[in-house]
Amino acid sequence: MFQISEEKQRLRTGTKSIVPAAFVSFKSRWGAAVCAQTQQTRNPTEWLTEWAAEPRDIYYDNLALPYVDLKIRRLIVGVAYFFLTFFFMIPIAFVQSLANIEGIEKAFPFLKPLIEVYVSVYLNMFCPAA
């Protein structure tokens, strides 16, 4: 019992224990739905309501992050996503251009005689003249 009161006191006075987040429980689903869909104040950064996550899905150390840090992180992730997608498209476009024989002959002209030999062998093997 003494340990519980010490822990409560430590949580009340600790600077890392104070976070700008809260978990609220409701007696009915209707109350939770109304709260999640209602604008609490005119300033959207002051009160944000979302549906609750599973307790094991919450990383409690991230609850203390300021709203501005979250916006900066989202911006960084968006920029990284853009550049990864953009630079991934270049090799994909190159490989796609090689998807047909004409594209290979255009990109690598020294392979043209080899391709012609293999194409003629393939045509003779699978499309014999009647």
User: pLDDT truncated to tens, each residue of the chain (130 aa)?
Assistant: 678 788 777 777 776 666 666 777 788 888 888 877 776 677 766 666 667 777 788 777 777 777 788 889 999 999 999 999 889 888 888 888 777 878 788 888 888 888 888 878 877 777 766 4
For residue 111, tell me if it sits in a domain.
Answer: no
Range of the domain at 34: 1-59
Residue 18 lies in a domain: yes
What lies within 8 Å, CB to CB, of 12 at 6+ separation is none
At residue 76, the pLDDT reads 97
What is the pLDDT at residue 44?
Answer: 66
Q: Cα separation of 39 and 36, whole Å? A: 8
The pLDDT value recorded for residue 108 is 84
Give a yes or no: residue 69 inside a domain: no
pLDDT of residue 110: 87
Rounded to two decimals, what is the model's pTM?
0.40
Q: CA triplet 47, 50, 55: central angle to 5 degrees?
A: 115
- Tally of domains in the chain: 1
In a domain, residue 116? The reply is no
Pull the structure tokens for residue 9: 């006191």
**Residue 66: inside a domain, yes or no?**
no
> Does residue 77 lie within any of the structural domains?
no
Residue 99 resides in a domain: no
CA separation for the pair 106, 77 (Å, rounded):
38
- Does residue 24 sit within a domain? yes
